[in-house]
Amino acid sequence: MGEEFYAVLKLISGEEILSLVSIDENDGDPLIILQNPVTMKLIHSTEGISIKIKSWMEIASDDFFIVRPDKIITMTETKDKKIIGIYNDFINDGLFDPYNSSSKESSGKTKPSKSMGYLTSVEEARNNLENIFNNSI
Query: Which 3 state secondary structure label does DSSP give 37?
Result: strand
How far is Cα of residue 121 from the mean position of the Cα atoms in its chain? 28
- Count of CB atoms situated within 10 Å of the CB of 39: 16
Q: Is the pLDDT of residue 107 over 70?
A: no
Tell me how far apart the alpha carbons of residues 135 and 89 are, in angstroms, rounded to a whole number.
46
Confidence of residue 28 (pLDDT cuts 50, 70, 90): confident
pLDDT digits (tens, 9 = 90+) for 68-77: 889 999 999 9
Give the Å distances, CA to CA, from 87 to 17, 39, 51, 122. 11, 10, 11, 32
Confidence at residue 37, expressed as pLDDT on a 0 to 100 scale = 93
| Strand-pair category, 29-45 with 16-26 | antiparallel
* Fold designation for 5-110: SH3 type barrels. (2.30.30)
Residue 9 pLDDT more than 90? yes
Q: What is the pLDDT of residue 24?
A: 84
Ranges of H-type helices in the chain: 81-92, 122-136
Strand partners, 26: 29
pLDDT at 115 over 80: no
What is the average pLDDT across 13-20?
92
